[in-house]
Structures are given as structure tokens and as C-alpha cells.
Structure 1
Amino acid sequence: MSARSEWSIIAPRKFALDGPVSALHVHIAGGTVNVVGAGTGPARLEVSQIDGPPLEVTHTGDTLSVGYPDLRRKGFRAWLGQWNRTVHVTLTVPAGTDATISVIGASAVVSGLAGRADLHGVTGDFTLLGLTGPIRADTVSGRVEAQAVTGDLWFHSVSGDLTVIEGSGSRVRGESVSGDMVLDLAPSPTCADIGLTTVSGEIAIRLPHPADAQVEANTASGSVTNGFDDLRVSGPRGACGTPGGSWGRKITGRLGAGHGSLKATTVSGAIALLRRPPSEDDDPDTTDGTQGKVL
């Protein structure tokens, strides 16, 4: 039978856990949660502020659970509009920990994890730093901002935005209704597989040099910006055949050998495909300009 330890926290405190932790479950409403992956040392918990009902902590086997039991039991819908609690908690766990983090009206920062990260938010925002494992984020209106992540990323939201900076994961999938999606992709040894879909949100993707992908991006009624001479833009033209029309356009073609894949679709939002500034190792004679063309 697995050993079980329990704490009911009603005031600020911090302590270290005796046993191992390889799975983390967090469910909070209001406040902040900071999860840090560390290479050495025991798992640690610090609550710097708490208002409302006690925060329950359980450690069973190698699973650490932190949150409110009623929130886990009844789900998010039972607590919409009931902001009678606030907690600010920091958790330091081994880097390989698999983490499930659910927030309502709270913000979460997750850094240094190599395990799986499953994120769920209603109105909470997520900031992800240096994650190397797979990431799955599902929000209603919360934003997801990811920097220097190398794992596969799945994003789904109603109106939340996705921003990826220096991303080098092999796969990115994004779906939203009205949220914007901005990807700044760093050079990677593997070819990326990118698929983004939104109804009214805008999509902007900045590709590294040299880029290597089959490209298909289209918008029904938004404008397009193309920063690559190797890609072609098709669709309605302006009056008298001039290029002034910018609605219902497609950007298609191949960059490099076309080993990767980039597909982006929006109904009424704009689409921009831009070239990332060259690194210091690039040959300036083989690098085109970084400015896109609005078509």
C-alpha cells in the first residue's frame, strides 16, 4: 500500500516532501501557481498567500496533488463566478515530472519541465519557459505564451491567444475561434509539422532561415503578408487586374526541400508568413530581406 501524507494549509508556509514525485496535479481558482522543474533535491512547496478555504495537499506514492477537493470533484462549471478564494503557490519538482495544471481566474508559470504538461484554464493565462516535453493546452479565454519550448505543442481555445517565441518543437497544432496565434520558430534539426486553424483570429508565423516546408496558408476575407520569394500568392485581384485586392488569398509553395509542413487557415483573420532575421552563422550573400509584402 502506498504511503500517503496530507496537509490542509490555511496560512503561508513552506516545506519539502520526503518521498519521490513524478506526477503533479494542481487545481486552483484565483491567485497564481509557479511550477519549476529542478534537476536535484526533493520536491518543495511554498504558499506565500492564501485567502478562503484551506488548500489541500496530498502526497500518495509518487503523485503530488495540490488544490481544492470541491473543484476537482465538481469541475470548473460549478465554480464559474464564485471568486471567494485566492492562493499564491510555488512548487519545485523533479524536471521529469508529468504535470496537470487546471486554473480558474489564476495565472500559471511553468518552467524547466521535461515531462508531459497538460494545461486547462477558464480565464487563467499560462506562461511556459523552456519545456522539453509534450504540451497540451486547453483554455476558454486564457492566453498561452511559450518561450524556448522544444516539445510538441497542442493548443485549443475559444478566444485565448497563443504566442510562441523561439519555439523548436517538431509539431505544433492550434485551433481557436477568435484567438490570435503568433509563432516565432527557431532553427531545429527536425522539420516542423505545423497546423493552425481559426475562425476570426489572426495568424502570424516567422520561419527560420533556411526554411524547409511545404506551405499552404489561406484566408477567406483577411489580408495576407508573404515574406518569401519562393512562395506564390493567389486569389482575387484588385480592380482592372491590379494587385490591390487582398481578400480571399492563398499562400502556397515549397521552401527548401519541402520536408516539413505548414498549413494555416482562417476565415476572416489576416495571415502573415515572415522570414526570421538570419543568425550570425548565415551567409549574408544567400539571405533575402526579412520584410514581408502585404498583398
Structure 2
Amino acid sequence: MSEWSVAEPRKLTFDAPVTALHVRIVNGTVNVVGTDESSARLEVSEIEGPPLVVTHKDGALTVAYEDLPWKGFLKWLDSKGWRRSAVVSLAVPASTRVEVGVVGANAMVSGIDGGSDVKGVTGDTTLVGVSGPVRATTVSGSVEAQGVSGELKLNSVSGDLTVIEGTCPVVKADSVSGSIILDLNPISGPTDARLTNVSGEIAIRLPHPADAEVEANTASGAVSNAFDDLRVSGQWGAKKITGRLGGGTGRVKATTVSGSIALLRRPPAEDEPWDAPPADRSAGGDTTVSSDRSSNGTTAGPTEQKGL
């Protein structure tokens, strides 16, 4: 086992295989990026308070405080522990299994296909382009998942849960008072989505054409439905939206007690290729933007980690 104590800004490179990553910090920021390289890199650009302990053993890379265990993480509220902060960035092989725990810190995980598990107390969590089993749990911080595939499970107490351009076969989201927003990508296959809330609102945007059995219930909240094939029942108190869209291959079930429920339809135009130029523009029209985008395929975005 190799071990380092990091008490000041520092960069480390790990040539030995990394198959699992465990990060636990208080305050600050954690950025984890999956790459196609075999090595892993760590940069601690800012640190205050006690040192971070970095260990590498049997393929598992850990960056954490000694007094901050993963078990019971969401209940860790030691007042002395708040007097610390770190900004940590890691580049690891995309196949790495990632676990990140943050107290009062923001976490961003992108490009990981080995599965991700993020726990947060008050910090916000962002998941971009991750696949495999993905789980995010938060107390009051928000969770945003963009372009996520694989099974997705989200839990919060008061934090908002947002899924954008999701291509997940399974989505489970539970909240007490935070809102739940689910936007499914048109290219995704059948999705089994189960959303539960108490007082927070639920909004679901389905592809057009949609393919799902739908059941949405609210005990006292308002309902909104953009699909003619779905039936809205109940006028006072409890309301329900039910029905089948398309072949009913997928399943969408949403339940809230006092929050509102909205079923939205993605406009058909969004399924068409964006910014398609007319044929006669090739002679003299300016197509610089379209050409640049197609040649790169991607943009710098959050996966760019300078200094790693």
C-alpha cells in the first residue's frame, strides 16, 4: 500500500491500476473525470485545515479525511470538522467505480462508465455523461444528471432532483419537499420511471412519440397533461392521470401527496437534426458554426481538467 499526507496544494500521478475511487471531503469542490488513459492523476489545488490522506491499495484509490468514514456519512456533522476545505480534481480510467462523499462541498462526476455513487449533505451534485449503476443521495443539496445512461437512483430530503436528456432504462427518484424534474431523451428506449414525492412538484417531459404506461397520482396537488391519449380523473382532492402512450412498452409512475404533477410532451421538431442548412447555402452561406461543431464532436465543457 502507498500512502501520502497532503497538507498543501499538490499533484500526484498513479501509474499502478486504479479500479475504484473513494473521495470524502468537507467544504470545497470535488471534480472527477473519466478518461481513456490507464493512469490516474490527482490535483489538490486548495486545502485548509487537516491534511487529506491519500492511499492506493489493490487498485483502490482513496482521498479522504481520517475522521470521515463512508458508513454513516450523511449523519456526520462534527462542528470541528467544518473548519476545513479542499478543492480536489481527479482524472481516472472511465471504467473506475467511483464513490464520492461531500459535506458542504460541490461534486461533479463526468465520463465514468464503471458506476457512480455520490452522497452529499448540503453541497450540489452534477453528473454528466455517466453510465453503469448511478446513485446520488442528498439531504438539502440539489442533484442534476445530464446525459446519464444506466440505472439511475436519486434520493433527497429537500434538494431538487433534475434529469436532463436521460437515456436510462430505469429511473427511481424520491424526495420529501424538493422538486423532481425528469426529461427523457427521444433516442432512449423504453424507460421504467418511478418518482415519489411528498410536498414537492413532479414534472416529466416525454419524447414524441412516447411509448409508456402512465400512472400519476396526487392527493391534493394540481395536475397538467399534454397528451390526448391520457385520461385525467378526479376534480376535488385526489387526481390521477392514467393511460397508454404508443405500445406501452415503458412505464412511468409518479406519486406526490400535496405537490403538483405535470406531464409534458417534447416537441416533434426537437427530434430533427439541429441547424440543418438549406442546400443552396453551401455556395456562399456561412456555415462555420455547424462545421466547427461537427468536426470536434464534443465541446470543452466540464470534462476539461486543466492542470491534471
> Deviations 1:89-112 (Å, cap 9, x if unpaired)?
000000000011111000000000
Structure 2: runs of 5+ lacking an equivalent: 273-308
Separation in structure 2 between the aligned mates of residue 271 and residue 25 of structure 1, nearest angstrom: 37
User: 1:158 — aligned with what?
Assistant: 157
User: 1:289 — aligned with what?
Assistant: none
Question: Residue 19 of structure 1 contacts residue 61 of structure 1 at CA under 8 Å; is this kept in 2?
Answer: no
Relative distance call for 1:222 and 1:62 in structure 2 (3 A) is same
Separation in structure 1 between the aligned mates of residue 107 and residue 29 of structure 2, nearest angstrom: 6
User: 2:101 — aligned with what?
Assistant: 102
The alignment yields a C-alpha RMSD, in angstroms, of 1.5
Per-residue deviation at 1:74? 8.0
Match for 1:210: what amino acid? Answer: P
Q: Find 1:259's aligned residue among 233, 249, 260.
A: 249
Matches within 5 A, 1:122-141: 122-141=121-140
SS in 1 for 2:68: helix
User: 2:180 — aligned with what?
Assistant: 181
Structure 1: runs of 5+ lacking an equivalent: 238-246, 283-295
Separation in structure 1 between the aligned mates of residue 264 and residue 70 of structure 2, nearest angstrom: 46
Relative distance call for 1:257 and 1:73 in structure 2 (3 A) is closer
- 1:47 aligned to 2:44? yes
Per-residue deviation at 1:189? 4.7
SS in 1 for 2:17: coil
User: Aligned residues, how many?
Assistant: 270
Match for 2:62: what amino acid? Answer: S
Per-residue deviation at 1:12? 0.5
Per-residue deviation at 1:84? 0.5
Question: Residue 213 of structure 2 contacts residue 252 of structure 2 at CA under 8 Å; is this kept in 1?
Answer: yes
TM-score of the superposed pair, with normalisation by structure 1: 0.88
Per-residue deviation at 1:218? 1.0
- 1:67 aligned to 2:71? no
TM-score of the superposed pair, with normalisation by structure 2: 0.84
Relative distance call for 1:91 and 1:73 in structure 2 (3 A) is closer
Separation in structure 2 between the aligned mates of residue 117 and residue 180 of structure 1, nearest angstrom: 22
Give the percent of matched residue pairs that are identical in Structure 1 and Structure 2. Answer: 61
Structure 1 stretch 156-165 or stretch 194-203: which is displaced more? Answer: 156-165
- 1:216 aligned to 2:215? yes
Separation in structure 1 between the aligned mates of residue 15 and residue 111 of structure 2, nearest angstrom: 21
Match for 1:253: what amino acid? Answer: G
Per-residue deviation at 1:48? 0.5
- 1:16 aligned to 2:13? yes
SS in 2 for 1:222: coil
Per-residue deviation at 1:138? 1.5
Match for 2:261: what amino acid? Answer: I
Question: Residue 136 of structure 1 contacts residue 154 of structure 1 at CA under 8 Å; is this kept in 2?
Answer: yes
> Deviations 1:237-257 (Å, cap 9, x if unpaired)?
6xxxxxxxxx42111000000
Separation in structure 1 between the aligned mates of residue 137 and residue 163 of structure 2, nearest angstrom: 15
User: 1:288 — aligned with what?
Assistant: none
User: 2:34 — aligned with what?
Assistant: 37
Separation in structure 2 between the aligned mates of residue 58 and residue 121 of structure 1, nearest angstrom: 22
Q: Find 2:240's aligned residue among 241, 250, 253.
A: 250
User: 1:85 — aligned with what?
Assistant: 84
Question: Residue 101 of structure 1 contacts residue 119 of structure 1 at CA under 8 Å; is this kept in 2?
Answer: yes
Per-residue deviation at 1:81? 3.8
Per-residue deviation at 1:281? 5.1
> Deviations 1:250-287 (Å, cap 9, x if unpaired)?
110000000110000000000000001224656xxxxx
Separation in structure 2 between the aligned mates of residue 280 and residue 5 of structure 1, nearest angstrom: 51
User: 2:262 — aligned with what?
Assistant: 272
Match for 2:242: what amino acid? Answer: T
Question: Residue 220 of structure 1 contacts residue 266 of structure 1 at CA under 8 Å; is this kept in 2?
Answer: yes
Separation in structure 2 between the aligned mates of residue 280 and residue 169 of structure 1, nearest angstrom: 19
Separation in structure 2 between the aligned mates of residue 179 and residue 161 of structure 1, nearest angstrom: 5
Per-residue deviation at 1:168? 0.8
Separation in structure 2 between the aligned mates of residue 228 and residue 74 of structure 1, nearest angstrom: 44
